[in-house]
Structure 1
Amino acid sequence: MAYELYYWDGLQGRGEFVRLALEEAQADYVDVTRGPEQDGLGTGAMMALLDSRSEPHPPYAPPFLKDGDLIVPQTANILFYLGPKLGLAPKDEGLRYVANGLQLTIADLVTEAHDTHHPISGNLYYEDQKDEAKARASDFIQHRIPKFMHYFERVLLQNPDGHKRHMVGDALSYVDLSMFQIVEGLRYAFPKATKHFADHYPHVVALHDAVAKRPNIAAYAASGRRIPFNESGIFRHYPELDKAVR
């Protein structure tokens, strides 16, 4: 049976980290909310599971993955589950926990990126918190991006098996794919701030470039399956929040 991925239609968001793994592995999957309602798909199918009173362990929010009767929620948890099945996790069990820790750190960065445009509440429009967003984005650009990215750069350099090409282990993993998405998202949201990324974080950018050239990822990026970044997702480009850094 095909994997069923549940995430909001029209958004890359957190679901994109899972899509990249499924696409790289050429796994059989259904992006449920993008399918027709008459086939039992669409947003209604996702909401039915979220609101279910019969499902013993309903997910709190998307993304979540359905594999047969099993429902796996949360991006990092989904990738921890899928990684070994798709050949995108280290064979060593201990390193699988290292990979999961890195993915959780990536999740922290994603949350902070989201909070640059919604620093007060996700229930308010961006326009209702623009001043606060400017302050939050400034701190994110000046302090938080460098803190995260220097860490990821150091992980690449210190991975004893990765030859500066992989975040964990000696082969491509879902963490490498997620780092590709992080660079893509930050470049979209903050083009001025990330203009010199290759100078500051050369190994992270080299990893991004290597993933972009992988045949399955390149084909996915060129297809209609890859939803473009937009101002409804996590990584949003508001020019007033972006500024150049040295």
Structure 2
Amino acid sequence: MAYELYYWPAIQGRGEFVRLALEEAGADYVDIARGREEDGQGLGAMTALLEDPSIVRPSYAPPFLRDGDVVIGQTAAILLYLGPRLGLAPSGEADRIWTHQIQLTIADVVAEAHDTHHPIAVSLPYEEQKPEAARRAGDFRANRIPEYLAWFEHVLTRNGGTHLVGSAVTYADLSLFQLIDGLLYAFPKATDAALAENPSVAALHAAIRGLPRIAAYLASPRRIPFNEQGIFRRYPELDL
């Protein structure tokens, strides 16, 4: 059976980290909410599964993945599950947990990037919290982006400079690529400056982009463009 991915159909968001793993593995999967309602897919199918009373471990929100009778929510948990099944996680327990730890750190950065444009409340539009967003983004650019990228650089150099864990591509490498891609979209000036100080991170970003399956995916309609509805948003006034 194909994996079923449930996520919003018009944004990359947190679901993109899962899509990249599925694409790199060449896995058979269906992006349910992007399908046609007449085929039993679409947003209605996603809502129905979220509200299905037979699911005893319901997800709070997308993304979530269905694999037969198993339903998993939260990006990091989905990737922890998929990693060994897709050949994108190390075999040893210590390395698997380390990969998961890196993924959770990436999730921290993603949350902070989101909060640069929604620092007060998710329910309020960006336009109603612009002064607070400018202040939050200023700290994110000056301190958090450099600090996080320096940590990833440290992890890479300690592991030989090519991969975050082990000697082969893991889902953590793919997720770091997506994180950097998003930061380059939202904060190109600040991110370019930070990448200049962290060459191994920049090299990993370029290497993942060049993987045959990833390159094909990025050039395909399956890759949703960055936009101002997702996590990474380009507001020029936040990247001074």
Give the shorter-chain TM-score range.
over 0.9
Q: Does 1:223 align with 2:220?
A: yes
User: 1:61-100 to 2 correspondence within 5 Å?
Assistant: 61-100=61-100
For 2:116, the aligned partner's letter is T
Query: For residue 238 of structure 1, what is the aligned residue in structure 2?
Result: 235
2:163 match: 166
For 2:134, what is the secondary structure of its paired residue? helix
Show structure 1 runs of 5+ residues with no match: none
Between the aligned partners of 1:23 and 1:164, the Cα distance in structure 2 is 24
The structural deviation recorded for 1:94 is: 1.2
What do you get for the CA RMSD once the two structures are aligned? 0.8
Question: Which one has a larger percent helix, Structure 1 or Structure 2?
Answer: 2
| Segments of 4+ moved more than 6 angstroms | none
Deviation at 1:147, TM superposition (A): 1.2
Unaligned runs of 5+ in 2: none
The alignment's TM-score, normalised by the length of structure 2, stands at 0.98
Deviations 1:51-91 (A, max 9, x none): 22232111110000000010011000000000001000011
The corresponding residue for 2:23 is: 23
Q: Name the SS for the 1:62 alignment partner.
A: coil
Query: Any conservation in 1 of the 2:187–2:239 contact (CA below 8 Å)?
Result: yes
Aligned to 2:204: 207
Q: Distance in 1 between matches of 2:116 and 2:34?
A: 28
Q: Percent identity?
A: 62
Post-superposition Cα deviations, 1:158-200, rounded to whole Å, max 9, x if no partner, equal 12xxx21000111110000011101100000011212334421
Judge which range, 212-221 or 43-52, deviates more.
43-52
Q: Secondary structure at the match of 2:54?
A: coil
- When normalised by structure 1's length, the TM-score is 0.96
Distance 1:205 1:22 in 2: 23
Distance across 2 between alignment mates of 1:36 and 1:198: 41
The equivalent of 2:189 in structure 1 is: 192
